[in-house]
Structure 1
Amino acid sequence: MLTLQQYIQEVLFRQRICVVPHIGTFSIQHFPARYNAGAQTLLPPRDQVVFTQSWQDDGSCLEWIALKENLVPAVAQRKLEKYIEEFKEALQPGQALELPGIGKLQGDFAGNLHFHAEELPVDPADLPITPIQRQEPAAPFTPPATTPMAEEPPVPPVSAPVEPVMTEEEENTLEAVTEGSIFKWWWAVAGALILLGGLAAWWYIGRQGGGNTPASPPAAPVTADTTQQAMPDSSLAATPAAPDSISYFIVLEEFPDSLTAAKKTAKRQAWEQPVVMIQRGNRYKVAVPVTSLPIDTTSELQAKRSKYGINKAYLEY
């Protein structure tokens, strides 16, 4: 049999916050490390469970009961009311209700609830810190004197290249080859110049003759037939335009802070529900994006209310 104690223990350590309708809100707060000057120790960071009687129902408890017992939202709501009544009966004045792993909850005659949290396990122990005494700096290190390096032997000068000695017969042969090469180059240059001159004369004559070509007569103006355009298309005017689809949101829940809204969105997405988080002003909302015809918005809203069991769902454009 399910109890609210199981719900508090399971949801609190998974989401670090748990809301019990008509009872209050449990949350886990993180306290950073602090220094104890008297004992000269550094206390490690820790987590502690905190309870407050203020609450804002986010629907988590109802959904948890419906999921655990496989119930529809209407039946799960009656189960939730029954569990809350049993929880309140266990908090009679002077009696303490044990929450395993969390603490004790006790009511008084004025209707107030007092919570005594258990110490959550912490792995690191207190670290002792001892004062550090300043020491005088050591004398600077003086490197030993280095011995002078031996001088390198002088590099011998590079001798100039020696010009080869040719005989008279070799010199005459070289001059004959050089003169023949120069003569052949002059003939090649003269031929190239004659070819370029011929091309320039041909281009100039062609340009002078092309200037006397008579201009073509202007084209006759084209008269556009506007008879077809002037006549309205009565068949198109009589055809009504089909209505377009619109996109909007069906808001399931809304919250004043983004952290709660993001947790709620992630939880519904884990249940494979196609929801997103949107912001309107200073309110954060969990909504389902919908695209339909304008005439189908009411039916879509009723379908989403029946599917998710939230009668307060409304449209948001």
Structure 2
Amino acid sequence: MSVHDSHPTRNNNSHAFTEPSHGHHLADDLPLISAQLLQRRRALAWLGSTTAGSALLLAGCGGGGSDGSSLAGLTSTTASSSGTTTSSTSSSSGSTTTSTSSSSSSCTALPGETAGPYPADGTNSSSGATSDVLTASGIVRSDIRSSFISTTTQAPGVLTTLTLTLVNTNSSCAPLAGYAIYLWHCDRDGNYSLYTAAAESYLRGVQVTDANGQVTFTTIFPGCYAGRWPHMHFEVFASLATATTGRNAVLTSQLAMPSAACSAVYPYATGYTTSVNNFAAVSLTTDNVFSDDTAAQIAAMTPAMTGSITAGYTATATIGIAR
């Protein structure tokens, strides 16, 4: 819908100044000149007050338009509202998906969620052994698609680049630099490295937030396994030095994959066949992790995502914590 600003037309009154007859000496002219100057000052003052009043009236009416745009040099600022818009065209492997979020300057503190049974952060065991990938050499990395401990296998799947921004909800959403974020998730078959894919160590990695509070991971779009909404796990640590076990995390939570992206990837991307039926059988309201979160929390936990199967996806999310 196009919005047209209406510009009201103002008719200015004309003011004529009639000079009376007078003598030809300076003494005769000075009183008349003073009187004329006084009249002109009064007229200009009246005109200025009329213009200002018209400007205030226009500003109070939103500039004559419904979008709060500027009018006649008056700038109106409209606060953005929170919301999420998703759209997808899923008719082919080259389909594009857009999932965008718009929000105000406020940020939402993310709720703590379970690390699940496959964290590999030293808090549980697998096959009788405790797995703590956080102490492994090479865990600090941006591209987490390949295994790095005993093999170099690369997890196949749709390329996904995820940027996370860590902010302090107690300080006007100021970015938090120097924090470590550990990200992990399942592969396209729904398996987790070091557990159900025991020989692999892919799709796990740690990054340290920069001056903007940001980290970026190169990974794949996760599959959907039975009983869970598609998701990624993460833990936040106060520093890289403290990121030695999940028990040191200041936040453990999860990201919910956008529904539009899931619907675009699973039926059309190679290797995601089992995700189709699993995704059809679950919803955010039935998921045993996300079902008790508020709408605002779910919105914050769902990355904004754009891209396609062939070009890959770019995702962003803001992680709010109270510090």
TM bucket by the smaller chain?
A: under 0.3
More helix per residue: 1
Q: So what's the TM-score if we normalise by structure 1?
A: 0.18
Structure number with bigger Rg: 1
The structure, 1 or 2, with the larger RCO (C-alpha pairs under 8 Å, 6+ apart) is 2
